[in-house]
Every structure is written in structure tokens, then in C-alpha cells.
Structure 1
Amino acid sequence: MSGEIISTRQRLINAAMELFSAQGITETTTKAVAELAKVNEVTLFRQFGNKQGLLLAVIFESPVFKELGESLKTQASQTASVYQALKDYCEERITALEQVPELVRSLVGEAGKYPVENRQALGRSLTQANHYVAEYLATVMEREQLQTQLPAQKLASLLNSMLLGYAVIELTSEFHELWHDRDEFLENLVALFLQVAPKSANQVNNESIPIEKVIDLPANLVHSILQRAKKSGLRDYALMYVLFGSGLSSEEMVNLERSQQINDANQHLLQITQGAIRQVPVNQWIMGKRYGSYIRNPLTQWLKSRKDDHSALFLNDDGMPISEGEIQEHWRILTQGLLTPEGQQPIIEQAQQTWCVEMLMKGMNLEDLSIITGWSRTKLQPYARRAREKSALEQAIRLDNKPQ
């Protein structure tokens, strides 16, 4: 049965890719996709929700994004130098973009016609890809003891923008004479990044290095998200509870299995077996509010409600292991209309940032947090800075409330 579901999903994605490429995304209807895939249109809606969900699946499962995170982790551990790391990444991404030229042209050429949902879907895909690349760059640069004038996230944004710009120009124009060939472009791009971005540690001396901004979410906003999730259903409530209560990324969550949950009256842990192998706590207290106990909370209630024998900790509406894209879509829906103090809709990465800052605020030191998160102390420095900022603010408020 599961093979049949996977086959149906893949046929729909293949059909959508074919039609999007041939006639454009705007002109392609869900009915046409279903007919080409030889399934009922209702099946398409059951699998993807709507056309926007289908587009998101096509983007995530295209060669540009598919398995990007895992491939970059492998590259980061095997590549001998920053130069080779950058060149390998750039070469692979350009090759992937060149495999879907019609889709690239359609995404760019029709962008002005898309409803906001389509543009949001593309934006989320690019953001997720950028997150992977930032992790990749940070890993390689830390290994070679390089400091940067810009944080890894900003470097990744610039690099991806240049690669996407190259693909758009190459696939939509002729005789531009901006570069001789792809090899020349890659050589110049990598040389530019190595010249203006990184510095070796012994060159830094006492220069101040900008710290990557951590934007954690305030307690009332976190509570609102969890309350919305509670009303949405046990699965959504459990998803948000694990995001805010354990500090895991969506990538780590999709790999969790039931057997990796360890709980009793005194603790609730999750065993992480992908990436940095470790155990993480699932906290019953989140931003000053208690969400059940170690043995009875949103996650244990979700698992208790299930009637299936599937090993995955989280399932989608079709009873299959949930994907990163689906977790991000649930987050988008649950946070729609909510605004951060900066006036933006919360993004899923802020749940992990909020958890890290909260752990530091509660007294955890950087060494212990490094063990729990699998991150380096260098990566955690901005979180320590943010925790100190919040502590200083709390102290100022206490002083203001102190009787004169």
C-alpha cells in the first residue's frame, strides 16, 4: 500500500514538472496534472492540499533542492579546502539548475503573475536551501579556522543569489558576453569570495567581527502559536511542542522514530541518530508556561491517539512519514497573521533560536548547550550574546521596579 501511495505522489510530481515546464505554472491546472498522472483530482488535493502545495513539492524534489542538506554535510566532511568546497558546491548547483531549464524560465518569467502563495512557496524553498548552505560554509570555515567579515548566513545568501543570477542569464539570454564560459564564471566567483569574505584567524587580531543576529520569539507569541496548534489537532500540537520544547530542526524531526522516545516520571528525551548523535530533552516548561508533564504532554498524547503501527514519530495526513516541506507548511499556516516585534511573520528557524536562548537564560553554559545541540561553541556565541541582552534588560526592569 505504501509503495502505491509513493508511486501516485511521484506520478503527480512528474506530471506537474512536465506541464509547468511545457506551458508554465500559471496556465497549468490541477485537473490537467491529475489527468496526465492518470489519477483523480481529489487524490492530488489529498496529497498536496492545493496547487501551491504541489508547486512546493516540485521545487523541493527537483535536482536543485533534493537531498541538498545531506549532500552538503558529506561534502563538508570530505572536502580538503575552502576553495574546493566552494567550487564543488557552485558547480553542483549550476548543474542542477541546468537540468530543469524550462522550470527555471517559468519560475522567473511568470513570477509577476503568481498569487502570493506561489511566491511564498518559492521563498520558503530558497530560505531552506540557504540555511543548508550557511551550515555548510560554517562547518568548512570552522574546520580551517577561518573567520568571516560577514556571518555564514549572509555569505550563503550572496553566493546563492549569484548562482541563481548566472542560471537566469544563461537560460534566458544569448550573446551577453558577461563571461567566457561556466568555468571562468566559477573561478571568478570563488576567487571573489575567498578574497573579500574570509580571513585567517591570525589576521583578525583585535578587529571586531559582526555577530550573526539571533531573533528569538517573545513568550506571548510562542504561547499563541502553541494555542493555535492545540486547536488545530493533536499532531500539530505535538509538532509545535517538539519545535519549542527540544530545539530540533525540521530536518531532525522528520527522521525521528517512536523507539527514539525515552520518558518516565522524571524525564522526557529524544534520541537523535542523524547528524550529531545525541539525546535532547523535551521540556515541559516553555517560556514560563507548563505544557503537561514528562509522561503526559502534547507529544505523548499524539502518540497515544494513533492507531497505526508505523515507526515514524510524525505522520502526515495520508499516514506516511511527514516531510520537511510539510512541517514548514504547517508552521506557515499556524503562524499566519502573527507578527514578531520586528513586524515579520515568524519563520520556523526562530523556534530553534528561541529554545537555545531560553536554555541559556535558564543557566545552561555554552559547553553543555554545545553537547545538547551538536553545534560548536563558535556557532553558539550569538545565542550567548542574545541571552546576555535579555538578562540585562530583565535586570534593568527589576531596578526600575525597585522601591526608591
Structure 2
Amino acid sequence: MASQSISARQRLIQAALELFTTQGVSNTTTRQIAEKAGVNEVTLFRHFGNKHGLLLAVLEESAAFKDLGESLVQRATPPGNVYQALKDYASDSLHTLERVPEFVRSVVGEADQFPAENRRALGRGLTEANRYVAQYLATVIQQGDLNTYLPAEKLASLLNGMILGYAVIEFTSEFHELWEDRDDFLENLVELFLHGAMSTAPQLTKEAVIIKEVADLPGILVHKILQNSRKSGIEDYALAYLLFGAGLSVSEIISLQRSHQISDTQGLILQITTPTLPRQVPVNQWILGKHYGSHTNNPLIKWLKSRKDYHPAMFIDNLGNSLSESELLQRWKIWTQDLLTPQGKPPEITQAQQTWCVEMLMRGVSLEDLSILTGCDRSQLQPYARRAKEKAALEAAIRLDHKPA
């Protein structure tokens, strides 16, 4: 008797899913479901109460998206091709949705007619699917295969939201020209996550974030660049000083205003005003073992005191306008002309920021504190932590030669 009851219940759920899929929820009647399941309506009402009770069971017992999520998690260990894994997950999810277009239309278009319990069940299902994707992303982030400034849970929500949004648009409209075809959507979706949302941090430049090996500059080269900038003029010296003494990006430096400096008895601080994460950054007087003035008398203070104009920008060009990124890059080329890194390449301006991050860690700043100063999460800073440990190990080995035998 129990087996017959279970069998009837499962047949009703399967029949409901098939009819909901082909006809939609509103166009499906309980009589149709009962007839397809080979039972009478009384049996349906006894098990589920009504059609929405049956829909609730369908939503709660469907394992399609759970299976997709579990499959994605399994691809995280050992790590493989993240691009392909995400694309396959998105593609498989769309295939699953495309098999039930009428059901998707009904759930989207008629959700306001469903009881609250049904809407909660749908929300729980989406949350469970999201949890698996977040678990996968958290694993590959921890393994260093992805660098991101957003939590894995938020990224998973964005990914699944875009996939569902695509399905809704495709099932409810035509000739929208938002994308060429499904493959076009999938490729651009994954590219966005790998090279857009997952690689561009609010503060560190894109080049600084996506690297897996930090290319910080040696002290002798840094001091040579600072010397060259000093020869180019007082403003150039101040610019180079902030690159190596505050770890700011090009865009942050040119956005500085005179009013953004905060000087007190403890030191010189700059207010960084970004739309995503405003923060304060100290300007260090010690750079790779050499002293560059004090917090009341340093290259930046000297430049500001020399100003005779009233322009609010902290740095200006020869015409008295706010300094542009291209102008700063051009000045960097002048300071670094004929200089080469240990790798035999011309120094890049982004390496100044990398050098500052490594130096802060070498001088005892914790990864947590550096995260606050840069506005980046700990996972993004892991390459810098590894590089700092490498340098510390080299210094420890070198010190052995200075110990008496």
C-alpha cells in the first residue's frame, strides 16, 4: 500500500512537471494532471491539497540545478580551465531552462498569483543552486586561479542572475538584437566575469590585479627613478614620490585635489575619493631603506608650497590644467629612460604600486591592514604576500654570510 502511495505521488509530480513544461502552470488543470498520472483527482488533492501544492512539490523536489551545481564544484579540484568550466555551467543551465520554456514563462509571469509558500520554495531553489556556484568560485579563488574584489557569493548571484535573465528575455521576446545568438551571449558572459568583474579592482589597476607573479622593482632602481624625477622638476619629484611612497595608481594620482592632503603630528595622509571605496592612505617618508624628508617637509609638501596658482587639482600640466594620465605616463618614460628591470625590460608605472605593496608587507604591515589601505580583498593580495615571503627568505639567507664563523 505504501509503495502504491509513493508511486502515485511520484507519478503526479512527474505528470505535473511535464504539463507545466508544455502548457504552463495556469493552462494546466488538476484533472489533466490526474489523468496523465493515471489516478483520480481525489488522490491529487489528498497528497497536495491543490495545484499550487503540487507545484510546490515540483519546485522543491526538482534536482536539475542542484546537479548542475554539484557538477561544477567537482571541476574545482583539481583546478582546470576556469573559462571552460564556467561556460559549460552556463550552457548546461540554459539547456535545462530551454527544456522547460513554458514553465519558465509561467513562473516569471504568474509568480504574483502563487501563494507565498511557493515563492519561498522558488527562492530556496535558486539559493541552493547559487550556493554550489559560490562554492566553486570560492575554491578557485583560494587556489589562486582567479583574483576578484567581490565575494564568491556575490559573483555567483550575478552569474546566475544573468543566465536566468537571458532565458526570460529569450522566452518572452523576439528580435531584440541584444546578442547574436546563445554562443555569443555565453562567450561575452564568461569574458565579463574573468576579465571584467573578476579582474578590475576598485583601487588597484587592472594590470596590478590580474598578475600571478609580482614584478616589484629593486631598491637601487627605485632610487634611480626618484633621482631622475627630481632632475625633471619639483612636481615630477612629488609625482614619483607618491607612486613609491603611497602606492597610488595613475588614475588615483591625477584625481587628487589639494584638499585631499591631511597633515597632523603623526604624519601625512591622503584622502582617496573613489566612487566605490573612499579610503585614506599614508605617505611614507622611508622608501626601500632611504629617507625622503619628513611628513612636514617632503617632495609633495615642497611642490604644494611652490604653487602660485589657485587650481584645486594637486597636479597640473604646463598649461595649468589638471594633469592627465597620458601626461603622467609620458613623464614616467622620461624618468625611466635607458633603465632596465632585472628581467631586462623597461620599468612599467604599475610596478611602482606593486613595489609599494610588497614593501609594506616586508615592513610588517599585515595582509588585513594592506587590504584596508588598498581597498582590495585578501585574495587579490596573495601574490604580494608570496613575493614578500620570497624576499624575506632571500634576506635571511644573505644574513648568514654576515655572521661570524
Q: Name the TM-score, length of structure 2 as normaliser.
A: 0.52
Conserved in 2, the CA contact under 8 Å of 1:268 and 1:295?
Answer: yes
Instruction: For 2:377 and 2:327, locate their aligned partners in 1 and report how far apart those are by CA, in whole Å.
Output: 29
- Which residue in 2 is equivalent to 1:267? 267
Give the whole-Å Cα distance in 2 for the aligned partners of 1:382 and 1:192: 23
**Which of 182-191 and 373-382 deviates more?**
182-191
The correspondence of residues 165-184 of structure 1 with structure 2, limited to 5 A, is 182-183=180-181
Gaps of 5+ in 1: 1-81, 87-140, 154-180, 198-209
State the secondary structure of the residue aligned to 2:365: coil
Give the match for residue 331 of structure 2.
330
Look up the match of 2:32.
none
Distance of 2:272 and 2:361 partners within structure 1: 21
Question: Does the alignment pair 1:189 with 2:168?
Answer: no
**8 A contact 1:271–1:280 mirrored in 2:** yes
Distance (Å, rounded) in 2 between the aligned partners of 1:325 and 1:401? 46
Matches of 1:255 and 1:189, distance apart in 2? 34
Q: Is the 8 A contact 1:151 1:211 kept in 2?
A: no
Q: Distance in 2 between matches of 1:269 and 1:288?
A: 20
Assess if the C-alpha contact under 8 Å between 2:243 and 2:353 holds in 1. Answer: yes
Query: Relative to structure 1, is the Cα distance of residues 395 and 186 closer, same or farther in structure 2, using a 3 angstrom cutoff?
Result: same
Amino acid at match of 1:189: E
**Distance change >3 Å, CA 365–CA 142, structure 1 → 2:** farther
Q: What is the identity, as a one-letter code, of the residue corresponding to 1:147?
A: V
The CA distance in 2 between the partners of 1:251 and 1:347, in whole Å, is 15
CA gap 1:225/1:187 in 2 versus in 1, 3 angstroms: same
| Alignment match, 1:389 | 390
Structure 2 Cα separation of the partners of residues 224 and 142 of structure 1? 47
SS in structure 2 of the partner of residue 270 of structure 1:
strand
Equivalent residue for 2:220? 220
Answer yes or no: is 1:339 the counterpart of 2:332. Answer: no
Aligned residue identity for 1:262: I
Question: Per the alignment, do residues 403 and 193 of structure 1 end up closer, same or farther by CA in structure 2, a change over 3 Å counting?
Answer: same
Between the aligned partners of 1:330 and 1:251, the Cα distance in structure 2 is 15
RMSD: 3.2
* 1:244 aligned onto 2:244: yes
Q: Is the 8 A contact 1:291 1:297 kept in 2?
A: yes
Give the drift of 1:401: 2.2
Give distance in 1, aligned partners of 2:240 and 2:136. Answer: 33
- In structure 2, the residue matched to 1:230 is 230
Task: Output the CA distance in 1 between the equivalents of 2:287 and 2:135.
Answer: 32
Matches within 5 A, 1:221-370: 221-274=221-274, 275-370=276-371
Confirm or deny that 1:372 pairs with 2:370.
no
Q: Stretches of 4+ moved more than 3 A in 1?
A: 141-146, 148-153, 181-185, 190-197
Q: CA deviation at 1:147?
A: 2.3
2:400 paired with 1:402: no
Separation in structure 2 between the aligned mates of residue 326 and residue 360 of structure 1, nearest angstrom: 31
**1:245, 1:143 → 2: CA distance?**
38
State whether residues 256 and 314 of structure 2, in contact with CA within 8 Å, keep that contact through their aligned partners in structure 1.
yes
SS in 1 for 2:140: strand
Residue 397 of structure 1 deviates from its aligned partner by 0.3
Displacement of 1:389: 0.2
C-alpha change, 1:312 and 1:323, in structure 2 (3 Å) is same
Partner-residue secondary structure (3-state), 2:271: strand
Against the structure 1 CA distance between its residues 144 and 276, is the aligned structure 2 distance closer, same or farther, given a 3 Å change threshold? farther
Contact 2:359 2:388 in 1 (8 A): yes
Distance 1:151 1:333, change over 3 A: farther
Native 8 Å contact 2:147 2:379 kept in 1 = no
Pairing of 1:62-81 with structure 2 (within 5 A): none
**Which residue is equivalent to 1:147?**
140
Letter in 1 for 2:250: S
Question: Is residue 225–residue 336 contact of structure 2 (8 Å, CA) maintained in 1?
Answer: yes
The residue matched to 1:279 in structure 2 has which SS? strand
Aligned positions of 1:84-99 closer than 5 A: none
Contiguous gaps of at least 5 residues in structure 2: 1-85, 91-133, 149-178, 196-209
Cα separation, 2, equivalents of 1:287 and 1:378: 25
- Between the aligned partners of 1:311 and 1:240, the Cα distance in structure 2 is 20
Does structure 2 retain, via aligned residues, the 8 Å contact 1:338–1:345? yes
Separation in structure 1 between the aligned mates of residue 272 and residue 391 of structure 2, nearest angstrom: 30
Question: Matched residues in 1 for 2:190 and 2:255: separation?
Answer: 37
Q: CA deviation at 1:328?
A: 1.4
Distance in 1 (alpha carbons) for counterparts of 2:190 and 2:324: 36
Cα distance in 2 for residues equivalent to 1:387 and 1:263: 29
Query: Secondary structure of the residue that 2:386 maps to in structure 1?
Result: helix
Assess if the C-alpha contact under 8 Å between 1:151 and 1:212 holds in 2. Answer: no
Residue type at the aligned position of 1:292: G
C-alpha spacing 1:337/1:195, structure 2 compared with 1 (3 Å): closer
Deviation string for 1:285-325 (max 9, x for gaps)?
A: 10111111101111011111111001111111111111122
User: Aligned partners of 1:349 and 1:389: how far apart in 2?
Assistant: 20
Letter paired with 1:232: S
| Alpha-carbon separation, structure 2, partners of 1:191 and 1:266 | 48
Distance 1:297 1:212, change over 3 A: same
Larger radius of gyration: 2
1:286 & 1:189 partners in 2: Cα distance? 44
The answer as to whether partners of 1:267 and 1:294 remain within 8 angstroms in 2 is: yes
Change (3 A) 1:317 1:151: farther
Q: Which amino acid aligns with 1:258?
A: R
Which is bigger in relative contact order (C-alpha 8 A, separation at least 6)? 2
